[in-house]
Structure 1
Amino acid sequence: MAVTDEAILRIKEMILSGELAPGDRLPPEKELSERLGLSRSSLREAVKALEVIRVLDVRRGDGTYVTSLEPRLLLEAMSFVVDLHDDHSVLEIFAVRRILEPAAASLAARHAGEAELERLRESVAGVDHAADVESLVDHDLEFHRGIADATGNGYLASLIDSLSSHTVRARIWRGITQESAVERTLQEHHAILDAIAAGDAELASALTVVHVSGVEQWLRSAL
């Protein structure tokens, strides 16, 4: 095992054991390197790597802190990776969404409260059918994020959000609008919302499968 990898694992162990909690400041570099029996250079590289994936927050002139470790924060790196993928990779991403989003709709139908439902209603009611592509992308992101948040499962919501980057949705919406399918997509959003509001988990899941699969099928044919 590389020395830097060992340093990363040792810091991870400190967090898992509770020795370091979210928001805690790490001991000074010299003290921590001596405690872990590692060189300061390897520790420094480990801190850089953990900063990239948002486990640590390096504040210049102040110190290094453990972040909040919230799921959405930790999965930000995945959104960046998704944006870099080409169209064929997006098909694989859609295959994953086809698994996760129906499950999210089902959970939302079971757990959504009035506040979550109202947020979804406002999202659906607020979109202009003649809006430009960017507005439609914003609506689509807001609607699916609202469903994911209504599940009550932070990790699932963050994972879905990380797979639903603005770049990917914008690329797909451009094609969909050219195919004059905006109206159909918005109707599907209405139907999914109605099923969630009715507490019908199976119907919400089934409608979401159709919704995601429709875009996936269009993209597959376009490629």
Structure 2
Amino acid sequence: MAVTDEAILRIKEMITSGELGPGARLPPEKELGERLGLSRNSLREAVKALEVMRVLDVRRGDGTYVTSLEPRLLLEALSFVVDLHADHSLVEIFGVRRILEPAAASLAALHMTDEIADSLQLQIDETDAEGSIEELVSHDVAFHQGIVDASGNEYLARLVESISGGTVRARVWRGITQQGAARRTIDEHSAILAALRRGDPELAAARMLTHVSGVEEWLRDATPPDDVA
């Protein structure tokens, strides 16, 4: 194991053990290095890496602190990776959505309230099948995010959110090139919401799977083979 990796692991253990909680200030560099048996250089590299991963917050002239460790914060790095690879791995990203979003819909059906369902219905009602594709996609993203937010699983919700941005261009592309895509999206959203209102997790998951798989299948057909790998 590289020295920097070992330093990262040691700091991680301090956090996971509860010795350093969210918002806690790390000991001074010299003290921490001596305590962990690490050189200043390896410790500094570890801190830099953990800062990029949003685990640590380095405040110049003040000290180094553990961040809030909230899922949204920690998954920002994943969102960056998805953005970098969106053009080359778009089909794979939709494959991940096909796995995650039916699970989110299933959980959301168990937590559904009239208030949440009404907010999802509003997204559907505001979607104009004859309107701009950009507005359609905006409502599509909001509808899906509303469901994963209702799942009750913060990590799942933030994970889906982190990969969603990388799929926007494909959604716009589909709306422009596939006849009837807007109407189909609205109808499928309505079917998903009906299952959620019924509190039927299996039906909600099945309808979400059909919905996401349809976009993935279209993308596979529309993407040259060399771009799918």
**Which TM-score tier does this pair reach, normalised by the shorter chain?**
over 0.9
Instruction: Name the stretch that deviates more: 132-141 or 184-193.
Output: 132-141
1:221 maps to 221
Output the CA distance in 2 between the equivalents of 1:24 and 1:65: 5
1:15 maps to which residue?
15
Q: Is residue 178 from structure 1 mapped to residue 150 from structure 2 by the alignment?
A: no
Which secondary structure does the structure 2 equivalent of 1:8 belong to?
A: helix
Q: Secondary structure at the match of 2:54?
A: coil
What is the match of residue 139 of structure 2? 139
Q: How far apart are residue 87 of structure 1 and its match?
A: 4.3
The alpha-carbon distance between structure 1 residues 67 and 162, as it changes in their structure 2 partners (threshold 3 A), is: same
Q: 1:18 to 1:144 in 2, by over 3 A?
A: same
Question: Is the 2:94–2:167 Cα contact (8 Å) retained in structure 1?
Answer: no
**What count of residue pairs does the alignment treat as equivalent?**
222
How much has 1:218 moved relative to structure 2? 0.6
- For residues 148 and 193 of structure 2, the distance between their equivalents in structure 1, rounded to whole angstroms, comes to 12
Asked if the contact 1:134–1:170 (Cα under 8 Å) also holds between the matched residues in 2, the reply is: no
1:98–1:213 contact (8 Å) kept in structure 2: yes
- Select between 63-72 and 212-221 the one with higher mean Cα deviation: 63-72
Are 1:65 and 2:81 matched, yes or no? no
1:15-164 matches, cutoff 5 A: 15-164=15-164
Judged with a 3 Å threshold, the aligned counterparts in structure 2 of structure 1 residues 115 and 55 are, in CA distance, closer, same or farther, namely farther
**2:167 maps to which residue?**
168
Q: 1:68 to 1:199 in 2, by over 3 A?
A: same
For 2:107 and 2:115, the matched residues in 1 are separated by 16
The letter of the residue matching 1:84 is: L
1:26-74 deviation per Cα after TM superposition (whole angstroms, max 9, x unaligned): 1221221121111111111111101111111122232211111112211
Q: What's the RMSD between the two structures over aligned residues? A: 1.6
Q: What does the per-residue CA deviation read over 1:146-171, in whole Å, with 9 as the maximum and x for residues that have no partner?
A: 11111101111122222211x42223
Q: 1:207 maps to what in 2?
A: 207
Which runs of 5 or more residues in structure 1 are unaligned?
A: none
Residue 88 of structure 1 and its aligned partner are, at CA, apart by 5.0
CA distance in 2, matches of 1:195, 1:83: 32
The whole-number CA distance in structure 1 between the counterparts of 2:86 and 2:75 is: 20
Note the residue ranges of structure 2 that are not aligned, 5 or more in a row. 224-229
Q: Quick check: 2:23–2:68 contact (8 Å CA) kept in 1?
A: yes
SS in 1 for 2:164: coil
* CA distance, structure 2, for counterparts of residue 68 and residue 116 of structure 1: 27
Change (3 A) 1:177 1:186: farther
Which has the larger displacement, 95-104 or 124-133? 124-133
Assess if the C-alpha contact under 8 Å between 2:192 and 2:207 holds in 1. yes
Report the AA paired with residue 71 of structure 1: P
Structure 1 residues 119-128 or 41-50, which shifts more?
A: 119-128
Q: How far 1:138 moved relative to its partner?
A: 2.1
Distance in 2, Cα, partners of 1:11 & 1:197 = 45
Please tell me the residue identity of whatever aligns with 1:173: V
CA distance in 1, matches of 2:133, 2:109: 29
- Secondary structure of the residue aligned to 1:85 is helix
Q: Identical aligned pairs, as a percentage? A: 65
8 Å CA contact retained: 2:20, 2:26? yes
Match of 2:227 in 1: none
